[in-house]
């Protein structure tokens, strides 16, 4: 085959050499616009795993790289005058120039033709080529030429960065954060050869402009960075090698994703994009070169598997695209989280978190590295952090830190007003539709009682209604009469007597989503016309029909009715206090009555309760304030909100911060951060812990404690959420339906034995713990010389 690689970066060169090695009969040319030893950039990093992959494909290249690379294990944070270091992260750094030189020499040795200082204007310049590799980098001309086919999606990110070098040597991958009068800057620093270090400086666009860096030339920019990071540089200079760039040396990262990766051009040659031309990954995760090299490996592997003749090319390219698209999207997602963390850290984390917690948050920024993964990397550091966190939690809860053993963050106490929860897990409110006339009966006693004994710090009662019309279904419990209050009192007393758990009430009004069947008879469907239970009329902030063409029509609630509903909430709150509940939550989420006021999708009112967010919040805040006035001052109140409507024009996470601020000002102690269920047009992005970013943002930006909820299903999730300060409590719902003793089980699973079990259950504790310990021992890595299992396999940038 005749193959032309446009671009002599890592992708083009590595593909050329592997393909030539696969079959020396191929005629392969690499065309590069730069001189052989002339390139931009300083060092690049990849993980140990990338090196292993490369070794399998060409040991000679790998040996050369290994002779030239810098290997290090530690990450060091320099922040607010502190230096914090953790180990076990396993990186390899190499100069970009050195890497390219190794690849160039290997290409030459294998017989690849290299043409330097040759600018390619078009793929059509090679009419004889069977295959053209467009490895022409992030600004790929070939991708632009065929943009209609490749359909690139290019997102330009808000931060500015400059890629510099220095001869100051650092013995760890170092992150240095510096505050200026206009905001925070951070430097990503890593040594890549015996005397040179990469020094990337990054900050938000507005901070960059405020310092006048938009009009600074390269020398002025370098000087600015030298002064800012003088303490780390200890007198060494910073250097730039981006003189080839026109205009500012400060760049914005561009995330590239392409829908189609290959085509057949007018000459009949196949053209395939590779490396940065087809996808980019932010340097916060350091994987761009790795992706480029792995593209090359996969394409050669497909030729090896399917055959390396021109006739095989279409099938090879189709399979290449299929496999690499998925893998690169996975890495891009992780890189996206890490990149966003660095974009918002100046406003969200730097001023809010103490250095210890900031370090933890930074290490887990991509959400690929969990709590237990950090333990595998550096047990000593993690246990030290656990102790630090536990001591602070104990002090905040009014206790004394007398334990020498580290406590997992999940099992640290949490105090708010006069209430102390034993740990950070709460059983999330879950409607059971099993009440009769709004009375919580034996079913609720057994259901909530079992979960209270299951180890969670607190159990939430399901959404309970202040009037019969406020119910979702005829099976929902209420608090509109004293008989209902006494029924709840029995349950509360049982929980207090037989468990260490606290118990919370959640009050809500269903609004336009009321008068429906029990979930198992058809969720959200109106009651059947011929059934024993008649439908009742619905009210909402504005007239609406929740399920178009299906639900009953709700009419706009009048001002007078709003007063009545508010009084009903107040009366129910008094009854909840009389029943002995420890905690009150107001349900302002999921499209129910109060939520329908907050979301612009469901509130079109023309009075002072519609329009701006302030207006839309007015009624929910009125209800909250009226409840707070009668709810005992020593007991906490939380508010559940939908922090994202997942519909264009609906509530966004930025709005959620404002909503949280308003409830905080009204006296709320925590915001319970759910999302969605406001409109059937919602398009949520599900995934593990998918709503936790809302809890995190609200906690840091509105300065109020939060409850994270949604797809939190392992102790590891709870530990990393609490440890990183993304929330104060974790609400766990469905896992508690499957296993009432979820918290006891998870404690045993992670080997935490200090959690007290209900006395009558104690004989089961040791047995469960022993079972998990045995399971763990069986999964343990093989003895020295073997390959580590699980998370250690993915060492490298967190
Ligand atoms: C600040 C920063 C830090 C980074 N850090 C890391 C890191 O730590 N680890 C990591 O893995 N990656 C890192 N990267 C990303 C990495 O540099 C790229 O992902 C990688 O170089 C992609 O390789 P490539 O071969 O696809 O493209 P490139 O390396 O960009 O190579 C493309 C080549 O094509 C040539 N070319 C372009 N157009 C033409 C034309 N028309 N004619 C002839 N030649 C042409 C260019 O001169 C260039 O040599 C970083 C990037 C930046 C900006
Ligand atoms: C059966 C069931 C009933 C629910 N009822 C309520 C409720 O009464 N009030 C409420 O705020 N959320 C309710 N939810 C939502 C949960 O509290 C929780 O936010 C959601 O299930 C996501 O958590 P998970 O992934 O741990 O299940 C309910 C969820 C389920 C599964």
CA of 137 to the centre of ligand 1 (A): 5
Residue-wise pLDDT tens digits, 401-438: 666 678 999 999 999 999 999 999 999 999 999 999 99
Return the SS3 of 159.
Answer: strand
- Which burial class, exposed, middle or buried, applies to 791 when counting CB atoms under 10 A from its CB (0-12, 13-18, 19+)? middle
CA of 47 to the centre of ligand 1 (A): 18
CA of 456 to the centre of ligand 2 (A): 16
Ligand nearest to the CA of 190: 1
Return the SS3 of 670.
Answer: strand
Ligand nearest to the CA of 694: 2
Q: Are 511 and 539 in contact (CB under 8 A)?
A: yes
CA of 566 to the centre of ligand 2 (A): 24
Whether the CB of 117 sits within 6 Å of ligand 1: no
Whether the CB of 508 sits within 6 Å of ligand 1: no
Q: Is 14 a catalytic residue?
A: no
Whether the CB of 8 sits within 6 Å of ligand 1: yes
Ligand 2 atom closest to Cα of 691?
Answer: 22
DSSP code at position 455: T
* Whole-angstrom distance, CA of residue 495 vs CA of residue 419: 15
- Which residue's alpha carbon is at the smallest distance from atom 34 of ligand 1? 7
User: Considering only CA atoms, which of 53, 4, 565 is closest in space to residue 291?
Assistant: 53
Whether the CB of 582 sits within 6 Å of ligand 1: no
Q: At what angle do helices 96-110 and 59-68 cross, to 10 degrees?
A: 150
Ligand 2 atom closest to Cα of 590?
Answer: 11
Whether the CB of 477 sits within 6 Å of ligand 1: no
Expressed in percent and rounded to 5, the helix, strand and coil fractions of the chain are 40, 20, 40
Q: Look at residue 84 in the predicted model and tell me its pLDDT.
A: 98
* Whole-angstrom distance, CA of residue 407 vs CA of residue 385: 10
- Which burial class, exposed, middle or buried, applies to 759 when counting CB atoms under 10 A from its CB (0-12, 13-18, 19+)? exposed
CA of 276 to the centre of ligand 1 (A): 6
Q: Look at residue 43 in the predicted model and tell me its pLDDT.
A: 85
Backbone Cα Rg of the chain = 30
Which amino acids bring their CB within 6 angstroms of ligand 2?
428-431, 462-463, 506, 587, 640, 674, 709-712, 732-734
Q: Look at residue 796 in the predicted model and tell me its pLDDT.
A: 53
Q: Which of 425, 426, 427, 431 to mutate to test the pocket of ligand 2 (most atoms within 8 A of CB)?
A: 431
Read out DSSP for 42-61?
-EEEEEHHHHHHHHHH-HHH
Q: Look at residue 331 in the predicted model and tell me its pLDDT.
A: 87
Q: Look at residue 797 in the predicted model and tell me its pLDDT.
A: 56
- Which residue's alpha carbon is at the smallest distance from atom 37 of ligand 1? 136
Ligand nearest to the CA of 200: 1
Q: Look at residue 245 in the predicted model and tell me its pLDDT.
A: 57
Q: Which of 241, 292, 334 to mutate to test the pocket of ligand 1 (most atoms within 8 A of CB)?
A: 292
Residue-wise pLDDT tens digits, 192-250: 888 899 999 999 999 999 999 999 999 999 999 999 999 999 999 999 876 655 556 89
Residue-wise pLDDT tens digits, 718-767: 999 999 999 999 999 999 999 999 999 999 999 999 999 999 999 999 99
- Which residue's alpha carbon is at the smallest distance from atom 29 of ligand 2? 430
CA of 86 to the centre of ligand 1 (A): 30
- Which residue's alpha carbon is at the smallest distance from atom 22 of ligand 2? 710
Catalytic residue among 592, 609, 619, 752: 592
Q: Which of 47, 187, 276, 324 to mutate to test the pocket of ligand 1 (most atoms within 8 A of CB)?
A: 276
Ligand nearest to the CA of 32: 1
Q: Which of 516, 709, 733 to mutate to test the pocket of ligand 2 (most atoms within 8 A of CB)?
A: 733
* Whole-angstrom distance, CA of residue 203 vs CA of residue 688: 29
CA of 277 to the centre of ligand 1 (A): 9
Q: Are 190 and 173 in contact (CB under 8 A)?
A: yes
Q: Look at residue 248 in the predicted model and tell me its pLDDT.
A: 66
- Which residue's alpha carbon is at the smallest distance from atom 2 of ligand 2? 430
Alpha helices by DSSP H, listed for 513-592, are 559-579
Q: Which of 47, 288, 295 to mutate to test the pocket of ligand 1 (most atoms within 8 A of CB)?
A: 288
CA of 11 to the centre of ligand 1 (A): 8
Q: Are 208 and 225 in contact (CB under 8 A)?
A: no
CA of 256 to the centre of ligand 1 (A): 13
Q: Look at residue 249 in the predicted model and tell me its pLDDT.
A: 85
Q: Look at residue 788 in the predicted model and tell me its pLDDT.
A: 27
Structure tokens at 438: 């709004």
Q: At what angle do helices 715-723 and 379-396 cross, to 10 degrees?
A: 70
- Which residue's alpha carbon is at the smallest distance from atom 26 of ligand 2? 733
Whether the CB of 275 sits within 6 Å of ligand 1: yes
Whether the CB of 292 sits within 6 Å of ligand 1: yes
Residue 625 phi/psi, 5-degree rounding, is: -65, -40
CA of 31 to the centre of ligand 1 (A): 14
Q: Which of 425, 426, 427, 430 to mutate to test the pocket of ligand 2 (most atoms within 8 A of CB)?
A: 430
Ligand nearest to the CA of 38: 1
CA of 458 to the centre of ligand 2 (A): 15
Residue whose pair of structure tokens reads 């959640």 in the numeric block? 506
Ligand nearest to the CA of 138: 1
Ligand nearest to the CA of 251: 1
The stretches in the chain having pLDDT less than 50 are: 782-795
- 3-state SS track over 597-621: HHCCCCCCCCCCCCCCHHHHHHHHH
Whether the CB of 10 sits within 6 Å of ligand 1: yes
Residue 46 sits at the vertex; the CA angle it makes with 36 and 251, to the nearest 5 degrees, is: 65
- Which residue's alpha carbon is at the smallest distance from atom 11 of ligand 2? 429
Structure tokens at 552: 């009953």
User: Considering only CA atoms, which of 130, 158, 132, 164 is closest in space to residue 145?
Assistant: 132
- Which residue's alpha carbon is at the smallest distance from atom 21 of ligand 2? 733
* Whole-angstrom distance, CA of residue 770 vs CA of residue 447: 28
CA of 721 to the centre of ligand 2 (A): 19
């Amino acid at each position: 085959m005749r193959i032309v690689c446009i671009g002599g970066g890592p992708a083009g060169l590595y593909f050329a050499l592997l393909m030539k090695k696969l079959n020396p009969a191929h005629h392969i040319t690499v065309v590069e616009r730069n001189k052989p030893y002339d390139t931009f950039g300083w060092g690049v990093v990849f993980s140990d795993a990338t090196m292993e992959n490369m070794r399998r494909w060409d040991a000679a290249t790998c040996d050369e790289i290994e002779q030239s690379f810098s290997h290090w294990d530690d990450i060091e944070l320099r922040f607010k005058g502190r230096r914090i270091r953790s180990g076990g992260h396993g990186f390899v750094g190499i100069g970009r120039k050195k890497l390219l030189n190794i690849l160039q020499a290997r290409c030459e040795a294998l017989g690849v033709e290299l043409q330097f200082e040759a600018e390619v204007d078009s793929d059509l310049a090679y009419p004889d080529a069977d295959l053209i590799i467009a490895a022409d980098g992030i600004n790929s001309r070939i991708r632009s030429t065929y943009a209609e086919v490749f359909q690139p999606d290019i997102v330009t990110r808000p931060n500015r960065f400059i890629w510099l070098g220095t001869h100051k040597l650092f013995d760890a991958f170092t992150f240095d954060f510096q505050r200026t009068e206009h905001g925070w800057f951070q430097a990503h620093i890593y040594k890549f050869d015996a005397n040179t270090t990469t020094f990337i400086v990054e900050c938000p666009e507005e901070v960059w402009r405020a310092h006048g860096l938009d009009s600074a030339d390269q020398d002025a920019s370098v000087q600015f960075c030298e002064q800012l990071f003088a303490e780390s540089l200890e007198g060494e200079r910073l250097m730039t090698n981006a003189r080839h760039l026109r205009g500012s040396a400060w760049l914005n990262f561009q995330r590239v994703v392409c829908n189609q990766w290959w085509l057949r051009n007018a000459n009949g040659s196949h053209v395939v994009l590779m490396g940065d031309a087809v996808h980019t990954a932010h340097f916060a995760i350091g994987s761009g070169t790795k992706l480029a090299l792995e593209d090359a490996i996969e394409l050669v592997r497909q030729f090896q598997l399917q055959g390396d003749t021109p006739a095989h090319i279409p099938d090879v390219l189709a399979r290449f695209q299929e496999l690499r698209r998925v893998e690169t999207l996975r890495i891009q997602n992780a890189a996206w989280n890490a990149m966003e963390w660095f974009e918002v850290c100046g406003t969200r984390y730097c001023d809010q978190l103490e250095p210890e917690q900031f370090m933890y948050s930074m290490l887990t920024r991509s959400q690929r590295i969990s709590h237990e993964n950090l333990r595998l990397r550096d047990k000593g550091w993690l246990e030290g952090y656990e102790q630090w966190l536990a001591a602070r939690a104990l002090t905040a809860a009014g206790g004394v830190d007398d334990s020498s053993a580290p406590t997992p963050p999940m099992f640290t106490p949490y105090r708010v007003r006069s209430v102390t929860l034993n740990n950070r897990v709460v059983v999330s409110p879950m409607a059971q539709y099993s009440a009769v006339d709004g009375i919580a009966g034996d079913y609720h006693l057994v259901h909530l009682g079992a979960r209270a004994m299951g180890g969670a710090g607190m159990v939430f009662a399901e959404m309970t209604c202040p009037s019969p019309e406020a119910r979702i279904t005829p099976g929902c419990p209420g608090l509109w009469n004293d008989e209902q209050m006494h029924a709840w009192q029995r349950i509360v007393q049982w929980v207090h007597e037989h468990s260490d758990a606290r118990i919370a009430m959640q009050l809500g009004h269903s609004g336009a989503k009321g008068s429906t069947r029990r979930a198992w008879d058809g969720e959200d469907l109106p009651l059947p016309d011929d059934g024993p239970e008649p439908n009742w009329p619905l009210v909402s902030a504005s007239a609406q029909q929740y399920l178009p063409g299906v639900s009953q029509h709700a009419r706009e609630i009048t001002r007078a009715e709003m007063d009545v509903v508010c009084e009903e909430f107040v009366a129910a709150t008094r009854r909840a206090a009389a029943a002995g509940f420890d905690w009150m939550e107001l349900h302002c989420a999921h499209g129910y009555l109060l939520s329908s006021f907050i979301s612009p999708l469901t509130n079109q009112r023309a009075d002072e309760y519609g329009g701006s967010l302030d207006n839309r919040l007015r009624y929910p805040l009125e209800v909250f304030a009226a409840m707070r006035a009668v709810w005992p001052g020593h007991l906490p109140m939380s508010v559940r909100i939908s922090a994202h409507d997942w519909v264009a024009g609906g509530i966004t996470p930025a709005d959620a911060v404002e909503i949280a601020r308003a409830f905080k000002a009204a006296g709320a102690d925590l915001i319970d951060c759910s999302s969605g269920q406001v409109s059937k047009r919602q398009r949520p992005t599900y995934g593990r812990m998918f709503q936790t970013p809302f809890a995190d943002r609200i906690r840091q930006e509105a300065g109020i404690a939060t409850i994270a909820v949604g797809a939190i299903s392992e102790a590891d999730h709870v530990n990393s959420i609490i440890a990183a300060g993304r929330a104060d409590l974790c609400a766990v719902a469905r896992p508690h339906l499957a296993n009432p003793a979820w918290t006891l089980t998870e404690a045993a699973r992670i080997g935490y034995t200090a959690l007290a079990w209900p006395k009558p259950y104690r004989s089961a504790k040791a047995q469960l713990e022993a079972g998990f310990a045995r399971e763990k021992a069986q999964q343990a890595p093989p003895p020295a010389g073997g390959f580590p299992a699980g998370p250690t396999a993915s060492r490298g940038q967190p």
